[in-house]
Amino acid sequence: MPIDSITADTSRMSEEVLKKHFDLKEGEEFSEQKYEHAKQDLEKLGIFRTLEFVYKEKKDGVDIHIKADDRTYVIPMLFGLSGNKHSFGASVEARNLFKQAESAGLFVGGGRDGFNTHGNLVLGKHSFYIAYEHINFTQRFYTNGWMSNKGIFSSADDKNKYADTLQGEVHGRQDDFTVSYSYQISNLWNVSVTPRYEYYEYQDHVLDSGKHSHISFGLGYTDGISAAMNMDKLAGVEYKHKADILRDLPRVKTGKLAEVSYTFGDKWTGSDYAISKISISGVYLWELKMRHTLAFFAKAERAFTAPFSNQIESSDLLFGLGIYDREQRGKDGVSGGISFTYYLMRNETGLFSVTPFYEQAYISSGGSAYAPHSGIGGTVAFRWWRIPLPISMNFTHNLNDGNQHVGCKVGGKF
Residue 233: pLDDT band with limits 50, 70, 90: very low
Sequence spans of domains, the chain: 3-70, 73-410
Res. 413: pLDDT tops 60: no
Q: Is the pLDDT of residue 79 over 80?
A: no
pLDDT, tens digit (0-9, with 9 covering 90-100), for 160-173: 565 557 888 899 99
| Per-residue pLDDT at 104 exceeds 80 | yes
The alpha carbon torsion through 291, 245, 335, 186 (nearest 10 deg) reads 110
Q: How confident is the model at residue 237 (pLDDT cuts 50, 70, 90)?
A: very low
Considering just the CA atoms, what is the radius of gyration of the chain in Å?
23
Terminal Cα distance for the chain, rounded: 44
- pLDDT tens digits for 123-132? 888 999 999 9
**Could you tell me which CATH number the domain at 3-70 has?**
3.10.20.310
Question: Which of residues 153 and 267 earns the better pLDDT score?
Answer: 267
pLDDT tens column, 324-355: 888 999 999 999 999 998 999 998 888 888 99
Q: To 10 degrees, the CA torsion angle through 190, 191, 197, 202?
A: 70
CATH for 73-410 is 2.40.160.50
CA 112/CA 157 separation, integer angstroms: 12
Higher pLDDT, 181 or 70: 181
Q: Is the pLDDT of residue 134 over 60?
A: yes
Contact 225, 255 (CB under 8 A): yes
- Residue 362, pLDDT score: 96
User: Rounded mean pLDDT of 375-401?
Assistant: 83
pLDDT the model gives residue 81: 60
Q: Where are the beta strands (DSSP E) in 82-188?
A: 87-95, 103-111, 114-123, 126-142, 146-148, 166-184
> Is 3:27 a contact under the CB 8 Å cutoff?
yes
**Given this model, what pLDDT does residue 66 score?**
92
Mean pLDDT of the chain: 85
Nearest CA-CA partner of 87 in 95, 96, 78: 78
Tell me: pLDDT of 403 over 70.
Answer: yes
d(CA 293, CA 342) in angstroms, rounded, equals 7
